[in-house]
Amino acid sequence: MRLTSEAVLATCAGLFMTSQAASVIPRQSVGTDACTDIHNRVLKSSDHGSNEVKVSGELALECLKSMPFESKRAVAFVREIRKWIQFQSTIEILQKPPADYPMPSTDLLGRLDDIQEHAAASKYTSHYEFEDAIQKTFASAHDGHLGIKLCTRSAFKGGFVYGPPLVSVSSNGTEIPEIYVQSDAKLKTSIDDALVSHVVSINGADVDQYLTKITEGAGLQDWDSLYNLAFTSEAISIGVEGVDGYVAGQFSNSPEWNGAYHAVHFANGTTNVYDAYVKVAEFPYKNGRDFYEKLCIPAPPSSSATPSATPSVTPPATSSALCRRLPSYPAPFNKHKLNKILGFFPETGELKDTAVLAITTFQVLEDDVVEFSNTARDLLNNATEKGKKNLIIDLSGNGGGLVAAGQNLFKMIFPDKEIYSANRFRVSEATEVIAEIFNKQSAENVTGQDWDWRSRVKPDQTGFKSFDEFYGPYKTLGVNSSALTSVNFTAVSEQVPMNGYGEQKPNPAKAPFAPEDIILLTDGYCGSTCTVFAELMKQQGVRRIAFGGRPKNGPMQAIGGVRGSQVLEASAQTQTLAQLAVWLKNGKFDPEVLEDYRQVIPPSLSEMSYKISELAVNEYNQFGPKNDRLPLQFKYEAAECRRFYQYENYIHQKTTWASAFDAMFNGGSVFQVPPTPLAACMRRKLQPSNLFWRRC
């Protein structure tokens, strides 16, 4: 059975409607350009009033592969990427990571050398093949801060669609789960004798192995957390876009090519085959070369145009983002207008004495920061007034955001505790040049810049005595690094909420909950600022429970996302690069410095040889208070408890909170981690010295 159409959910209305495209466009004729076929069919469809066309995945891939390859331009592009990669803080450690780091080693610079060599020798058959090699190099780091959005990856914006969403379902949260098509799982749950069957294989491979393979390229550093990405999730949808509705999961919708179809084989012996397709609303490219030149080649700079150094801003909220209804969440007590944080006071059942903070993202800017802070404060203060005994902090789908937002939230929960922030950047040829330029500027000119030693402080919030003390370099696991640094929280408090710092009075002034009465709930997606917040909470003895993961007994990390403390985005460095050039031009520097600048300082995105919309690296490694040598990115930390998802957890988030409460506060059963049987996750405060080793 081949399925070539699907129902899509209208997120605000909650109504089902069928796609306007009745079928998938196959290859039209032998010998014609694939891009020409797509172009002509989209034009024809538009003439008939259709807004969107479904194009077969094979035809879309053939179109991508028809893009010509230019050796000289490709070599220049790799060199430009290398200049940005040198800021990546983990290069040396990735080559030889610690033994308990779960991901394979990778040599980022070595792989780029190989790509450059192949490009110089014209060994790539298409531009798509060249960019695919670059994409896989970035993905090999398993670092959510290290990323690049190449032109071929933006060609078909929705990625490849492969069929209906899947879910991983345990019968009771502790039994090994089975994989179902979501509609089958719903039927099985609602009708006792429903004739549905679970999935056993996909394209001839064991279902678990196949799903592990298609999710391995995502920017997470934990196999169980990656595995969860195969399945549908409303939490990730809210965290990414602030809208209701569900992310289908990477089985159903993938940015990568996973073959022409998914042949899904069920335990009852039946097989459904879902053809891959892409959705195309417009396609003005007449052939492969036209596709390449318009999509990937930058326009020549205009002599009359003045480049802008203004960073991009977040667009205003859309009507869908302001929808009040979230399908799987109960009505909140309070919430951020874009659903970035939501507070709940369940009034019935075992959660009646519990407050819940669902934090879908820390990505807040300008007025968002204040609203985010006020929402959390209001929930915590009301929890105290209502006499709530426990606090569940749901971090499902939280990929990070503004570091100060996470640190401020910690200070509201534990106002009498200090924030421990210890970070190092990688010393490179580029930082050497930048440092030399910075050191010849007045303190007023460089205040707040990443490489300004006068603006940054030590983890204990005392200042550095000199540039050399700040910059080093110091050897940490083979990496030439800066000293441990932090931002000045008093200075930060002049810009954004930072509870208890500067002129901001503590509110709450007293911790509303004891550490043993708080739990963090995650799906492993927690990354970036989310990990900064989770680490601070762990240092106080707060326990964690992870949901989902691969269908086998064993520990799972609660924090599967990038644990670096700061991302460096190329798009946000336009002004810094422009200012460096001005200082260099107007200053008195040796010719060697001028030459070094030309050789090692990266170009802005608009100056690169190919169009790319995003490029970022992890600038700062984050360290814990017990080890200033090993970045937290490479420290394996299993959650104190783990449960699998039941189907009800996908459609009612309150049931996930209840499951976590049962395991962590009620002594409910959990799976067993050999060789120690785990009968229950006991309520207790973890001792700081044993945080890494304790299991419930």
Does a structural domain hold residue 238?
A: no
Which whole number is the average pLDDT over 396-415? 96
How high is the pLDDT of residue 460?
97
Among candidates 686, 539, 695, which has minimal Cα distance to 627?
539
pLDDT at 685: 40
List the single range of 20-34, 335-349, 651-665 with lowest mean pLDDT.
20-34
Query: What is the number of structural domains in the chain?
Result: 4
Comparing 638 with 690, the larger pLDDT belongs to: 638
Q: Which range (43-57, 177-191, 276-290) has the least confidence?
A: 43-57
Average pLDDT of span 597-616: 94
Half-sphere exposure of 275 (CA within 13 A, CB side): 19
- φ/ψ of 112, rounded to 5, equals -65, -35
With respect to residue 294, please indicate whether it lies within any of the assigned structural domains. no
Is residue 267 one of the residues assigned to a domain?
Answer: yes
- 480 burial level (CB within 10 Å; 0-12, 13-18, 19+): middle
Give the β-pairing of 334-335 and 341-344: antiparallel
31: in domain: yes
Mean pLDDT on 309-313: 33
pLDDT value at position 377? 98
Q: Is residue 695 part of a domain?
A: no
Tokens of 162: 């492969």
Tens digits of per-residue pLDDT, 144-197? 999 999 999 989 988 999 989 999 999 999 999 999 999 999 999 888 888 899
Residue 304 or residue 227, greater confidence: 227
DSSP 427-487: P-HHHHHHHHHHTTS-HHHHTT-TT-TTT-B-TTSPBPSSHHHHH--EEETTEEE---BB-
Domain assignment of residue 188, given as a range: 2-65+162-215+246-280
Spatial distance between the Cα atoms of 264 and 563, rounded to a whole number of angstroms: 35
- Tell whether 109 is covered by a domain: yes
Q: Average of pLDDT values for 59-69?
A: 97
Q: Which of 362-366, 408-412, 684-688 has the highest mean pLDDT?
A: 408-412
577 & 557 share domain: no
Residues 252 and 391 in one domain: no
Give yes or no for residue 322 having a pLDDT over 60.
no
- Dist CA 293 CA 208 (whole Å): 40
pLDDT higher than 60, residue 239: no
The DSSP code for 531 is H
The pLDDT tens digits for 645-675 are 999 999 999 999 999 999 999 876 554 443 3
Average pLDDT value for residue range 350-378: 94
> In a 3-state reduction of DSSP, which class is residue 137?
helix
Residue 41 has pLDDT above 50, yes or no: yes
Q: Looking at the structure, do residues 126 and 265 belong to the same domain, yes or no?
A: no
Cβ(285)–Cβ(294) under 8 Å? Answer: yes
For residue 371, the Cα-to-chain-centroid distance in whole angstroms is 23
- State the Cα–Cα distance between residues 597 and 601, nearest whole angstrom: 5
Confidence of residue 690 (pLDDT cuts 50, 70, 90): very low
Q: pLDDT of 546-590, one tens digit each?
A: 999 999 999 999 999 999 999 999 998 888 888 888 888 888 888
Q: Which amino acid is at 371?
A: E
17 has a pLDDT exceeding 60: no
Average pLDDT over residues 421-431: 96
Q: Which of 16-20, 235-239, 402-406 has the lowest mean pLDDT?
A: 16-20
Q: Of the spans 41-50, 263-272, 359-368, which averages the highest pLDDT? A: 263-272
Tokens of 567: 């991302």
pLDDT the model gives residue 561: 96
Beta-bridged to residue 172, according to DSSP, are: none
Crossing angle of helices 127-139 and 57-65, in 10° steps, is: 100
Query: Are 64 and 152 contacting, i.e. CB atoms less than 8 angstroms apart?
Result: yes
Instruction: Judge if 459 and 448 occupy the same domain.
Output: yes
DSSP 563-620: --SEEEEGGGGHHHHHHHHHHHHHS---HHHHHHHHHHSPPPGGGSSS-EEEEEEEEE
- Per-residue model confidence (pLDDT) at position 556: 96
CATH of the domain at 533: 3.90.226.10
| pLDDT tier at 24, thresholds 50, 70, 90 | low
299 within some domain: no
Same domain, 606 and 645: no
Band (435; pLDDT cuts 50, 70, 90) = confident
In this predicted structure, which of 319-323, 342-346, 399-403, 475-479 has the lowest mean pLDDT? 319-323
At 463, give phi and psi (nearest 5°): -80, 165
Q: What is the pLDDT of residues 130-153, one digit of tens each?
A: 999 999 999 999 999 999 999 999
**Least-confidence region, from 45-49, 251-255, 398-402, 616-620:** 45-49
What average pLDDT does the structure give for the chain? 86
Q: Is the CB of residue 219 less than 8 Å from the CB of residue 180?
A: no
Residues 353 and 456 in one domain: no
Asked whether residue 638 falls in the same domain as residue 674, the answer is: yes
pLDDT at 49: 63
- In this predicted structure, the answer to whether residue 67 has a pLDDT above a threshold of 60 is yes
Compare 364 and 13 and report the one with higher pLDDT.
Answer: 364
Same structural domain, 569 and 557:
no
Which residue shows structure tokens 């520990």? 555
End-to-end CA distance of the chain: 46
User: What is the per-residue pLDDT for 348?
Assistant: 84
Give percent of the chain with pLDDT exceeding 70: 86
Q: Give 243's pLDDT tier (boundaries 50, 70, 90).
A: very low
Res 323: pLDDT: 44
- pLDDT at residue number 304: 41
Out of 603, 622, 641, pick the residue that ends a domain. Answer: 622
Of the given ranges (49-53, 90-94, 136-140, 631-635), which has the lowest mean pLDDT?
A: 49-53
The span from the CA of 332 to the CA of 354, in Å, is 13
Name the least confident of 14-18, 515-519, 564-568: 14-18
pTM for the whole structure: 0.89
In a domain, 324, yes or no: no
Among 261, 280, 299, which residue terminates a domain? 280
**Rounded Cα distance, 448 and 464, in Å:** 14
Query: pLDDT band at 222, cuts 50/70/90?
Result: very high
Q: Are residues 45 and 146 in the same domain?
A: no
In the prediction, which pLDDT does 327 show?
A: 79
Q: What is the DSSP annotation of 187-200?
A: HHHH-TT-----EE
472 with 442, same domain: the answer is: yes
Shared domain for 537 and 684, answered yes or no, is yes
Token pair of 328, please? 């799987």
Is 16's pLDDT higher than 60?
no
Lowest mean pLDDT among 33-47, 148-162, 254-268, 317-331: 317-331
Whole-number pLDDT of residue 381? 97
| pLDDT for res 112 | 98
Are 387 and 476 in a shared domain?
no
